[in-house]
Amino acid sequence: MASAASADPIYVAYDGDAGSDGSIEALATTLDHAMSLAQSGDEVVIAASASTYAPASTVAVTAGVTVRGATGDWDDVVISGSNRQRAATVTGAGAVLSGVTLIEGYIAGDGKPGPGAYVTAGGVLANSLVHDNTYDGATTSFIGGVNAVGGSVVNCIIS
């Protein structure tokens, strides 16, 4: 089983088993379950899929956790906020989200724009595409994409 500071990644597949620990690719888990398991030092590897990942809650990448698309190509892993929640947060030193597309995030005026991604406190969003997100009824690349406050956005396209 993958655990804190584990050398083994937690594997995620679109059709993963929520009861699995994701310790090997053949026992891949769901994105929601992987995020509940991940602790500082863990890496979550999301398999490429022709289908869009639509987790039940915001993908919350916390300090020391790396979440990445397996191939590194943002077209291979698409994560949707399903037009009801922020797609991702990346918060804390060593928190990294990379190689994904974030779409259909939604925030209804919580004072923290960035329905695609809210990146803060040393978190890093890298090598990703962020588009078609909505903040308080306005779909724009300025307010509707990424809000980085004390975090970094590296090699990303926000539209």
- For residue 30, is it within any domain? no
Tokens of 71: 């191939």
Residue 75, domain extent: 51-158
Q: Give yes or no for a contact between 82 and 103, defined as CB atoms under 8 angstroms apart.
A: no
What confidence score (pLDDT) does residue 5 get?
52
What confidence score (pLDDT) does residue 143 get?
55
- For residue 116, is it within any domain? yes
C-alpha to C-alpha distances, 81 to 113, 140, 152, nearest whole angstrom: 14, 16, 21
Helix (H) or strand (E) holding 36: helix 31-37
- For residue 133, is it within any domain? yes
- For residue 99, is it within any domain? yes
What confidence score (pLDDT) does residue 7 get?
67
pTM of the model: 0.91
- For residue 125, is it within any domain? yes
Q: How many domains does the chain have?
A: 1
Sign of CA dihedral 111, 115, 121, 122: negative
Rounded mean pLDDT for each run of 10 residues along the chain, 159 residues in total: 64 95 91 96 96 96 98 97 95 98 86 86 97 72 76 95
- For residue 5, is it within any domain? no
Helix (H) or strand (E) holding 35: helix 31-37
What confidence score (pLDDT) does residue 3 get?
45
What confidence score (pLDDT) does residue 76 get?
98
What confidence score (pLDDT) does residue 138 get?
54
Q: How far apart are CA 127 and CA 111, in angstroms?
A: 26
What confidence score (pLDDT) does residue 142 get?
47
